[in-house]
Amino acid sequence: MINIAVIALGHLSNGEITIALETLKHIHNDGFNLLFISHQWGEEYIGSFGVPVKVLPHNDPRDNYKEFLRIINEFKADLLLCADVTTMEYAAVWSGFSFRDLKKLNIPIGSFDQYEWEATDYRFDFMSNQAKNVTPEFFESCDFLIRPCPLNKPAAFDGRIVTGRLFGHNPAPPAMTNSQWRDALGLPPNQKVVFTVNSGWEYIDITRFMELRPLMAWMPRMIYHHLLSVKQPLTVVHVGPKPWDFETHERITYKYFKRMDAILYQETEKQADLFCGTNAISITLSKAAYALTPSVLFQNLKRITFSDLAAVMPKMPAWYRQMAQEVKQSGTFRIFPWGWTRFLEPVFSNNEYNNVFVEAPVFVPPKCSKILTQYLFDQTAIDALKQRQTDYFNSLNLLPPIQEQLRKLKLP
């Protein structure tokens, strides 16, 4: 048996933890022993996947580092695997250890690599402004990298880079009937359900883009108005740190959950009529598409100065004109509000994953309305999208099992 200690310390969302769990959960007790090391908030969530977990419980980072070393020694780890090595580095302020501390342990180190980092310039672009570098050492000095599909493109195993399926070969069917699921969440019986989510980091302004704060306030309003334009009664299920802070029309039944039980969350990914969001790298987007749920991704891939649109403003609805006056301009984004347009180009280029969702230009209301109406009510369009989703995930069946690749790693 090979003992893999997975270091999963991100606390602003469950994204990186979920990716690691989904990719690895099936190899536990199949030639590998897994042990996740996380914070106290992650303990219950990781445990819900049936995977062992230990927490770093102390307030003093020095005590957490001692606890980490104790766990590693007791577990007799053969491999250290970071759910995200950059997040682990940021967490050093409370965990007490950094990437270089891990290197001193003389245990092979790997990391999940969602974005094909070595194909980038190791630089995040925030709303089109180059703003932050990441140390290349974090990835180039890893003994191995795991690139799950999606988000990554399938690639041949090369002894260091493992490219494997994020999910199993077939999605599990819903555990509840549709009526049971609706009853559990208190949803009306006959309305189409739109699922949308947010994470804590989506409310953090780390850019120098002066108009970002009003745009952050307007983004949920824009999504709401796009949904309202469908002209049919809809139920919106929203999971995130903050509820919408505005009144909704009677056609929109708004159900907000700060947190949702993991089982109900997974059911909602499968049972909703549509998933929508603004985050191209969202694990919930991937899971919804895997469950063959129609998915719409609101994007902006062209920098906009609203004063340049004076000729078309009279044709826009009143809410849009107010938004344009307050926001003034917007940078590009693949994930809102950070941007990451150029940074994500390598991973999305020639990537069949693009076929499993529909992109909607968030600042073009007629197109957003048409797309939402189509993928909520046009069964021909819905079936075609579900077929593209099926074809994509079936194409990943050609990848060799991840445990087979892990056994063949060329380690020091």
Q: Are residues 55 and 38 in the same domain?
A: yes
- The angle formed by the CA atoms of residues 355, 377 and 334, to the nearest 5 degrees, is 35
Find the range with the poorest average confidence among 40-49, 272-281, 359-368. Answer: 40-49
Q: Are residues 113 and 189 in the same domain?
A: no
What was the pLDDT predicted at 205?
73
Q: Would 173 be classed as within a structural domain?
A: no
Amino acid at 61: P
Q: How many structural domains are present in the chain?
A: 2
End-to-end CA distance of the chain: 19
Q: Would 412 be classed as within a structural domain?
A: no
Rg (CA), the chain: 22
Q: Is the model's pLDDT at 119 over the cut of 80?
A: yes
- How does the average pLDDT of the chain come out, rounded? 94
Domain span including residue 351: 178-395
Q: Are residues 119 and 193 in the same domain?
A: no
Q: Give the DSSP letter of residue 401.
A: P
Q: What is the DSSP string of 189-221?
A: SSSEEEEEE--GGGG---S--TTHHHHHHHHHH
What's the whole-number mean pLDDT along residues 93-113? 96
Q: Are residues 184 and 142 in the same domain?
A: no
Give phi and psi for 355, each to the nearest 5: -80, -10
* Range 242-248, long-range pairs (CB < 8 A, 24+ positions): 242/198, 242/203, 244/220, 246/221, 248/224
Q: Are residues 198 and 158 in the same domain?
A: no
In this structure, is the dihedral angle defined by the CA atoms of residues 71, 73, 79 and 85, taken in order, positive or negative? positive
Residue showing tokens 């991840």: 402
Amino acid at 146: I
Q: Are residues 198 and 216 in the same domain?
A: yes
What does the alpha-carbon distance between residue 195 and residue 276 come to, in Å, rounded to a whole number? 6
What does the alpha-carbon distance between residue 104 and residue 107 come to, in Å, rounded to a whole number? 8
Q: Would 8 be classed as within a structural domain?
A: yes
Q: Are residues 73 and 189 in the same domain?
A: no
Q: Are residues 37 and 53 in the same domain?
A: yes
Q: Would 320 be classed as within a structural domain?
A: yes
- CB 1, CB 31: distance < 8 Å: yes
- CB 81, CB 4: distance < 8 Å: yes
What's the whole-number mean pLDDT along residues 41-62? 93
- CB 319, CB 104: distance < 8 Å: no
Q: Is the model's pLDDT at 11 over the cut of 80?
A: no
* Domain CATH number, residue 256: 3.40.50.2000
Find the range with the poorest average confidence among 32-36, 123-127, 343-347. Answer: 123-127
Q: Among 405, 403, 354, 397, which Cα is nearest to 165's?
A: 397
Q: Are residues 57 and 120 in the same domain?
A: yes
For 314-334, how does the pLDDT look when each residue is reduced to its tens digit (9 = 90+)?
A: 999 999 999 999 999 999 999
What was the pLDDT predicted at 209?
64
Tokens representing 302?
Answer: 């062209």
Q: Would 236 be classed as within a structural domain?
A: yes
Question: 83 to each of 18, 90, 138, 181, 370, how far by Cα in Å?
Answer: 9, 13, 12, 31, 38
Helix, strand counts (H, E) of the chain:
16, 17
Q: What is the DSSP string of 294-342?
A: -EEEEEB-S-EEGGGGTTTGGGS-HHHHHHHHHH-EE--BSBTTTB-TT
Q: Would 57 be classed as within a structural domain?
A: yes
- CB 110, CB 145: distance < 8 Å: yes
Instruction: Tell me which H or E stretch contains 162.
Output: strand 161-165
Q: Are residues 96 and 201 in the same domain?
A: no
Q: Are residues 106 and 189 in the same domain?
A: no
Q: Are residues 226 and 369 in the same domain?
A: yes
What does the alpha-carbon distance between residue 379 and residue 340 come to, in Å, rounded to a whole number? 33
Tokens representing 340?
Answer: 């990451």
Q: Is the model's pLDDT at 233 over the cut of 80?
A: yes
**Taking the model in full, what pTM does it have?**
0.93
Q: Would 108 be classed as within a structural domain?
A: yes
What was the pLDDT predicted at 144?
97
Q: Would 96 be classed as within a structural domain?
A: yes
Q: Is the model's pLDDT at 210 over the cut of 70?
A: no
What was the pLDDT predicted at 375?
98
